[in-house]
Structure 1
Amino acid sequence: MSKTKLTRRAALSLLSGVSGAALVNVVGSNAASSLQDLGSQIETLPEVTVYTAKRVINMEGNEPDIDSVAVVGDRVLAAGPLAKIIERLGQQPFRVDETFSDKVIMAGLIDQHVHPFLAALTLTSEIISIEDWNLPTGLSKAAANSEEYQSRLSAAEAAMNDPDALLFSWGYHHFFHGEVRRAQLDAISRARPIIILHRSAHELILNTAALDLLGITEELVNSFEGLASEQSNFAEGHFYEAGVFAVLPKVAPVLATPQRLGTGLKLTRDYMHRAGVTVAAEPGGVLSRPLQQATNAVFSGDDSPLRTYFIPDGKSLAALHLEDGTLIEETEKLLDWGEGKTAFLPKQVKLFADGAMYSLAMQVSQPYQEDEFHGEWIMQPDEFNATFDAYWEAGFQLHVHQTGDLAVDMILDAVERNMRRMPRPDHRTTFVHFGYAREDQAARIAELGCIVSANPYYVTALSDRYGDIGLGPERADDIVPLGPIKARGIPISLHSDVPMAPGEPLFLVWAAANRTTVSGRVAGPEHRLSVQDALRAVTIDAAQSLRLETELGSITPGKFANFTILETDPFEVEADAIKDIGIWGTVLEGEIFPVGSVEEIDKALLAPAKDVIRRESKLPEAPAHTALVAQKGMLAGCSCCASPASFACTPSVAGRTSTVGCCGTNALGWAVVAEWATRA
């Protein structure tokens, strides 16, 4: 055995038991050398950095007397009381770093599900939404009703110095803000072009000035066919789902400019860092290599304060490659798309079941209260099952977007079918979002070895409103029903799906632990998580859902030295105050990243004037890929995830074609046109 291997193993053995009030000497009688012999080798060992704090929350035992962490390079060596760690280090070189002596060190926070590209577009807009957005560039307060929304939008227009600049706003939701169409926008300004992107990213509303400037004429809209025609209203300036795709070649080059995308990605990165995120994952993001490269440029560098993982969109890949038998091969090619601090996770894939929670398009066993709402499939059951089976056979972990209880049944049936024909241990099939499920389904989820990644913000934002419309009070209070899941010991992680919820893990902890709605009441108290369990859901259990628990999620010997530095101990405050805990910064793989000042964004530079819009909107003719998106609109269930080879309007349930888009975004449509604009 080489000297290097001996000393490294001996050092790890020496300190691996340092945890809590006692440290256990794990150097056995069969060790190659005695402690005295080890002393002669100390000079070859690296220097240890010992960070001290008011408390260290390691997400293992969480003993109250842990106040220090020993770090070697990018890994944790030990955690325990300072005196014990120093005693055990003996003659090995070390230094005590008191940077965090008046702070709380906890295991690095993980956001299990984010969308950097969509966040880049929305978070650089004029945000007037149904919730507060506390960004590095300032606080955007919620607009609770129609009057507040109209007042805020009018004020934003009046504050713009350039009379020709475009006003682009995101966050409007008709369930809360009432009807906003062309007439309402014209009342604010008939001279300034105004474009509103709906909170769900599924709808666009334009005023007369924007329609005129972009060349979206009545003649053009009358030329649309199929769903694009049905889902476009020129008189109202309203375009939704397929209608959005139809006008996208006119709109997207103006909104998804390289400057907005670059600025927005940096803002998104800084926003997540400010929230204490050390690791994030994007499941089922846009299948576009140029867009991935743009994301890498911001998120992969040495200066990035977080590491980001990506999980392929299996729906798009299946549309391209399932029939020709190259699905697995093509999926694994994406492993080459990451670089530096970005990477695709091996043997993991994202599929989609039913429609968007924000659109009341969940597939539910009990009908909605109103006939106007109905469930939609993003992947038709036959398509879903064939794709699920192919990935199962190849040994993939499947993350499945699900919002309604009928989708839970479909996923469970797929798991049981595959377990009966090809049993797999520890498959970790993951229910993503977990918007609504029946209590009887929890037992089956546990029996089949599935796990849950939930978005608890649905309760805060939607339970009150959905009690009045759509679901009714009883089901609305049971949104994100984690009580029976926790009772059966099923692993639970939490995620933001930013920008579908604020990308702040402690905010998610608050939402899961309190289940407080916008009106201040508690919805479904039996589904609340304890603070301990909610914190696990954004640390060690979040890592487990991504198969990264041996590297991340707790302050444990051998794991990466990823810490979030808190101003306050979350176990020492009321559950209602957790979302307000200050974040000092993070430590990523041993490197300190304090939350610093953020360069102010000049929104005037992101709001192109009329001459710029005219120039950008006169790009060369779009390639076939873009044209097909615009002409065909939504594929049955989810065309924004569809492939160029399969654009078609396939009938879905009850002869309808889905109008729900994909996973809460129209991201691929934006990316296709943005990529075209970049190439042009």
Structure 2
Amino acid sequence: MSSLSRRNLLRAGASVIAILSPFSAAVGQTNSLSDIGTKVVPLPTVTVYTAREILTLDPEKPVVNAVAVVDGRILLTGSLEDVLASLGGQRHQIDDSFSDKVIVPGFIAQHDHPLLAALTMSSEILSIEDWALPFGTVPAVQDKQDFTDRLTQAVAARTDPTEPVVTWGYHPAFYGALTRDDLDAISATQPILVWARSCHEMILNSAALEIGGVTQELVDGFSQTEKMQSSFAEGRFWEQGLFAVLPNIAPLAASPERLQAGLELTRDYMHAKGVTFGNEPGGILSKPVQDGINAVFSSPDMPFRWSFMPDAKTLVQTYPDDVQVIAETENLSSWYGGMTSLAPKQAKLFADGAIYSLLMQVRDPFLDGHDGEWMMDKSDFDRAFRIYWDAGYQIHVHVNGDAGLDRVLDALETNLRRNPRYDHRTVLVHFAVSAEDQVKRIVDLGAIVSANPYYVTALADQYSVVGLGPDRADSMVRIGDVSRAGISWSLHSDMPMAPGDPLFLMWSAVNRVTASGRVAGPEQRVSAEDALRGVTIEAAYSLRLEDEIGSIETGKRANFTILDSNPLNVDPMTIKDVKVWGTVMEGRVQPVDVSEKKASLMPPTSTEASRTFAEASFGHALKVVHSHL
């Protein structure tokens, strides 16, 4: 055995002992059976995949052309000659299907929302950006007139005059205010519901208000805050006003059939983008809701695994006893199975409001002087942080503004001094608006960053004029500074807040090119290799899975994304155009075949779980996902 193979075998560790043990007994033998006690079992066959290039992200062997896989785990990597020499007489087969392709570690969707993606992607998408979906590309809306024309066409296409028309993606900061009168001009009889791009606002026409039983008297009965964030005259409801009206309009917004179709579409979309593992941060705290998601995502034919992180915000607000909070958190593991699981010892908290609704908390005022919002009262936030910190949890915090970041870092510092912890990996999620002085503080406190680089691509131009001004807009998502400071950072899409496409996220982070074609904050650009790490090994690190996935190394799961070209060698402006052939997930080869496997938006046969979800819990689900963004 070569020194190369010895080193690889020694590095395998406990996680792969079960894989390697049969081979140790079989070295020098050509038989394919091994006695284990009184039972004779066949030795597993090793599959050796070859490729034009295999980018491992293993610093010892960054580029190889062969990887040996057995029982869903990586056995060896290296040149084909070295791998075959190491295998000796062990039973193996060579798969050269990828001989003209490039293999990279399987892409990780570090922070995405499959439920919310299902609901938005199965609506009439009329948004600020193109959406390339399995059934085709939906082009971006150009202006308010374009939106009106396309929504008019969607309404005219309905054969049932009572069928609600739900559209998602309208952004008032791009196209101007939208009111009930605008929608009534399209149709006063067909129910129309416009779900804004932020998912924090809806506008309804008169027909939708009437069918939903939304009246001025109903609005007058709301709390003071809910009334302040509602306008019956305009048919417009936002933030707490949207919460209040959801029980009335939820049945109009979706059906069990649309739910299942949306989840299948989300599944196929993410597979087509090369995803091999994903995470829902702040899993929905409703068993019927989770059952509806599991009907699709727990299925054994799912092309990737998905974990769900507990919603610590709701748990803390529900249970006054600290011990019960942790007990109920751990009890959630029984909700998952098959291809879904609970993210162990991790929890999600929320600081300030959403960037798409310009409600993050900022140190300096917004251009129009409006205030941001807090997603949790400070007392609840501090209590939740303390409870999960003391229980040894890794805490992920949704934070968008620099004032919001101050609150998070203050809580982290307080708890570090009170109860020091090593390698806590507190994750700052989204990281939209930050200040230079905060980067050093992140280093000092040992936090890490999960950034959404798409904010720059989609919003920097418009937010330079509306909301933030040019300096803050262009410096959004300052991962260049974070990288130079040596802070671990990963990339996420927050699907559907950005397309759940890891190559597109890489492109956004590397180029920082806005919708107008200019470069915003060039000093915050990062290298292509670092961006690739951001959707693989660093994403795994942020989920405490770096020993399992994220790179192509001995003992890890055999999760690969198969590309037509090397994203590190192409023109940086073409990274997003690199084609995904498919994936290998724990040794299962899964080509992307849009012609045979794509979700239809025609109503499929609904499963009982998805029907239960939609009929019993849809309003609750919308409230929860709305509060998470």
Do they fold alike, i.e. is TM over 0.5? yes
Question: Could you tell me which residue of structure 1 aligns to residue 40 of structure 2?
Answer: none
How far apart, in 1, do the equivalents of 2:322 and 2:422 lie?
Answer: 29
Query: Using a 3 Å threshold, how does the CA distance of structure 1 residues 79 and 343 change in structure 2: closer, same or farther?
Result: same
Cα deviation 1:224-252 (Å, max 9, x = unaligned) = 34223222222221122222223222211
Whichever residue aligns with residue 308 of structure 1, its letter is W
| 2:486 is aligned with 1:497 | no
Question: Could you tell me which residue of structure 2 aligns to residue 609 of structure 1?
Answer: none
Q: In the alignment, is the contact (CA less than 8 A) between 2:144 and 2:176 conserved in 1?
A: yes
Match of 1:59 among 57, 60, 64: 57
How far apart, in 1, do the equivalents of 2:577 and 2:146 lie?
Answer: 25
Query: Using a 3 Å threshold, how does the CA distance of structure 1 residues 322 and 86 change in structure 2: closer, same or farther?
Result: same
How far apart, in 2, do the equivalents of 1:207 and 1:605 lie?
Answer: 25
Deviation at 1:15, TM superposition (A): 5.6
How far apart, in 2, do the equivalents of 1:594 and 1:84 lie?
Answer: 28
Match of 1:552 among 540, 549, 552: 549
Secondary structure, in 3 states, of the residue corresponding to 2:69? strand
Query: Using a 3 Å threshold, how does the CA distance of structure 1 residues 189 and 16 change in structure 2: closer, same or farther?
Result: farther
How far apart, in 1, do the equivalents of 2:536 and 2:112 lie?
Answer: 15
Q: In the alignment, is the contact (CA less than 8 A) between 2:268 and 2:597 conserved in 1?
A: no
Match of 1:402 among 399, 402, 406: 399
| 2:566 is aligned with 1:575 | no
Cα deviation 1:589-624 (Å, max 9, x = unaligned) = 111111123566664649xxxxxxxxx9xx9xx99x
Secondary structure, in 3 states, of the residue corresponding to 2:237? strand
Cα deviation 1:280-311 (Å, max 9, x = unaligned) = 00111321111111111211121000000111
Deviation at 1:115, TM superposition (A): 0.6
| 2:87 is aligned with 1:89 | yes
Deviation at 1:477, TM superposition (A): 0.6
Q: Which consecutive residues of structure 2, in runs of 5 or more, have no partner in the other structure?
A: 11-20, 35-42, 605-611
Question: Could you tell me which residue of structure 1 aligns to residue 28 of structure 2?
Answer: 39
Deviation at 1:217, TM superposition (A): 3.0
Query: Using a 3 Å threshold, how does the CA distance of structure 1 residues 310 and 605 change in structure 2: closer, same or farther?
Result: closer
Whichever residue aligns with residue 510 of structure 2, its letter is A
How far apart, in 2, do the equivalents of 1:367 and 1:482 lie?
Answer: 23
Tell me the TM-score normalized by structure 2.
0.90
Q: In the alignment, is the contact (CA less than 8 A) between 1:65 and 1:81 conserved in 2?
A: no
Equivalent positions of 1:418-429 (< 5 A) are: 418-429=415-426
Question: Could you tell me which residue of structure 1 aligns to residue 250 of structure 2?
Answer: 252
Whichever residue aligns with residue 533 of structure 1, its letter is D
Secondary structure, in 3 states, of the residue corresponding to 2:97? coil
Deviation at 1:223, TM superposition (A): 3.6
Question: Could you tell me which residue of structure 2 aligns to residue 174 of structure 1?
Answer: 172
Cα deviation 1:168-189 (Å, max 9, x = unaligned) = 1000110112122111112212
How far apart, in 2, do the equivalents of 1:180 and 1:562 lie?
Answer: 45
Secondary structure, in 3 states, of the residue corresponding to 1:98? strand
Equivalent positions of 1:31-430 (< 5 A) are: 38-40=27-29, 43=32, 44=34, 45-61=43-59, 66-323=64-321, 325-371=323-369, 373-430=370-427
Q: In the alignment, is the contact (CA less than 8 A) between 1:311 and 1:344 conserved in 2?
A: yes
Q: In the alignment, is the contact (CA less than 8 A) between 1:18 and 1:79 conserved in 2?
A: no
Question: Could you tell me which residue of structure 2 aligns to residue 458 of structure 1?
Answer: 455
Question: Could you tell me which residue of structure 2 aligns to residue 565 of structure 1?
Answer: 562
Equivalent positions of 1:16-31 (< 5 A) are: 16-17=7-8
How far apart, in 2, do the equivalents of 1:229 and 1:488 lie?
Answer: 46
Q: In the alignment, is the contact (CA less than 8 A) between 1:109 and 1:538 conserved in 2?
A: yes
Whichever residue aligns with residue 213 of structure 1, its letter is I
Identify which range, 53-62 or 472-481, moves more after superposition.
53-62
Q: Which consecutive residues of structure 1, in runs of 5 or more, have no partner in the other structure?
A: 1-9, 20-31, 607-615, 631-638, 643-660, 665-680
Q: In the alignment, is the contact (CA less than 8 A) between 1:328 and 1:394 conserved in 2?
A: yes
| 2:429 is aligned with 1:432 | yes
Secondary structure, in 3 states, of the residue corresponding to 2:283? coil
Deviation at 1:577, TM superposition (A): 0.6
RMSD: 2.8
Query: Using a 3 Å threshold, how does the CA distance of structure 1 residues 415 and 438 change in structure 2: closer, same or farther?
Result: same
Query: Using a 3 Å threshold, how does the CA distance of structure 1 residues 176 and 15 change in structure 2: closer, same or farther?
Result: farther
How far apart, in 2, do the equivalents of 1:529 and 1:397 lie?
Answer: 26
Query: Using a 3 Å threshold, how does the CA distance of structure 1 residues 600 and 154 change in structure 2: closer, same or farther?
Result: farther
Secondary structure, in 3 states, of the residue corresponding to 1:476? helix
Cα deviation 1:106-147 (Å, max 9, x = unaligned) = 100001001111111100000000111111121111113223
Question: Could you tell me which residue of structure 2 aligns to residue 651 of structure 1?
Answer: none
Question: Could you tell me which residue of structure 2 aligns to residue 537 of structure 1?
Answer: 534
Question: Could you tell me which residue of structure 1 aligns to residue 607 of structure 2?
Answer: none
Bigger proportion of residues as strand: 2
How far apart, in 2, do the equivalents of 1:420 and 1:57 lie?
Answer: 41
Query: Using a 3 Å threshold, how does the CA distance of structure 1 residues 312 and 37 change in structure 2: closer, same or farther?
Result: closer
Identity among equivalent positions (%) equals 50
Q: In the alignment, is the contact (CA less than 8 A) between 1:144 and 1:176 conserved in 2?
A: no
How far apart, in 1, do the equivalents of 2:180 and 2:459 lie?
Answer: 26
Deviation at 1:167, TM superposition (A): 1.4
How far apart, in 1, do the equivalents of 2:108 and 2:62 lie?
Answer: 23
How far apart, in 2, do the equivalents of 1:217 and 1:599 lie?
Answer: 44
Q: In the alignment, is the contact (CA less than 8 A) between 1:16 and 1:77 conserved in 2?
A: no
What count of residue pairs does the alignment treat as equivalent?
600
How far apart, in 2, do the equivalents of 1:396 and 1:119 lie?
Answer: 27
